[in-house]
Amino acid sequence: MGRNVLYRDLAEYYDRLYQFKDYRSEAREILRLARRFLGRPPRSLLDVGCGTGRHLLEFARTLSVAGVDRSAEMLRVARRRLGPRVPLARGDMRHFSLRARFDVVTCLFSAIAYMETRRDRDTAIANFYRHLNPGGGALVEGWVRPSRWRGTGGDLITYEDRDLRVARVTSSWREGNHSVVEYHVLIGEPGKRIHHFAQLDRNPLVEVEEMLGSFRRAGFRAKALLHGRYRDRGMYVGVRPSDS
Ligand SMILES: C[S@@+](CC[C@H](N)C(=O)[O-])C[C@H]1O[C@@H](n2cnc3c(N)ncnc32)[C@H](O)[C@@H]1O
């Protein structure tokens, strides 16, 4: 099972499975953090691994925004949500190159977990740095910290309306310094055979100091927030020095 096949198959159902996730309050908190390091409200923001664009929708209320994601299918949903005016680009977080710089670069809901090696992570975070205005900052929500990892057996999320039933069962465990998450998704729609797809994701469990190392090697001043909603995954805040 290949990488990100998950997002290709899941894209049309992703928002329904994550309807419980409070993108609005997350976006507000991100803006509060950004205001703190910028010393003023941010004017522009790039969301990397933007998925279906739910954070972007919130940010777009007050900022000029853009998004990047590797999955064409996720971007298609984002385009529907955001309309034609928000620039959305298909690209890998390590290598994309936009002709613009931003006050804030975000990478949320653990999209960074898809960086499999330290080198990949360093490359992605250096790329975030390149897309920032001096004085701007990157806000990266990590994957689960090693000390916070708890495997699960058969977690279930469901969605149903008149025309659609979706059930996702995940089991997860640890293999050394990696988490392994097995996803199975069942989709039922009137008049159609049941559709099933599955994926096994293997992602590195990265210590806070290792994450901060990637930021510092890129030139950022960096710290980790490890409380409240960021307790398990950590929110990494990297500021590009104003004189850089
Ligand atoms: C868990 S989803 C998070 C999506 C969105 N940020 C959210 O909060 O709903 C991870 C996203 O990262 C994207 N992604 C995975 N690997 C990527 C890469 N190398 N470069 C850019 N995007 C990537 C996936 O396509 C997917 O949309």
Kindly report, residue by residue over 10-64, the tens digit of the pLDDT: 899 999 999 999 999 999 999 999 999 999 999 999 999 999 999 999 999 999 9
Q: Which residues have C-beta atoms less than 6 Å from ligand 1? A: 4, 7, 49-51, 54-55, 69-71, 74, 92-93, 108-111, 114
Rounded to the nearest angstrom, the distance between the alpha carbon of 47 and the centre of ligand 1 is 10
pLDDT of residue 157: 94
Which phi and psi (to 5°) does residue 34 adopt? -65, -40
Report percent pLDDT > 90 for the chain.
Answer: 93
77-95: pLDDT as tens digits: 999 999 999 999 999 999 9
10/121 same-domain check: yes
Rounded to the nearest angstrom, the distance between the alpha carbon of 71 and the centre of ligand 1 is 8
Rounded to the nearest angstrom, the distance between the alpha carbon of 201 and the centre of ligand 1 is 13
State the average pLDDT for the chain: 95
Q: Flag whether 109 is in a domain.
A: yes
Rounded to the nearest angstrom, the distance between the alpha carbon of 108 and the centre of ligand 1 is 8
- Alpha helices by DSSP H, the chain: 5-17, 23-38, 54-59, 72-82, 118-130, 208-218
129/186 same-domain check: no
136/163 same-domain check: no
157-174: pLDDT as tens digits: 999 999 999 999 999 999
132/172 same-domain check: no
pLDDT of residue 116: 96
64/98 same-domain check: yes
Query: What global pTM score does this model have?
Result: 0.96
197/210 same-domain check: no
Rounded to the nearest angstrom, the distance between the alpha carbon of 111 and the centre of ligand 1 is 4
What number does the ligand 1 atom closest to the CA of 47 have?
A: 6
| C-alpha to C-alpha distance for 142 and 208, rounded to whole angstroms | 9
192-243: pLDDT as tens digits: 999 999 999 999 999 999 999 999 999 999 999 999 999 999 999 999 999 9
Identify the domain containing residue 192 by its residue range: 147-204
pLDDT of residue 1: 34
pLDDT of residue 2: 39
Q: Between 118-130 and 208-218, two packed helices, what is the crossing angle to 10 degrees? A: 50
The tokens describing 20, both together, are 């419980």
CA-angle at 58, arms to 23 and 224, nearest 5°: 60
Pocket test for ligand 1, best of 109, 131, 181, 233 (most atoms within 8 A of CB): 109
170/81 same-domain check: no
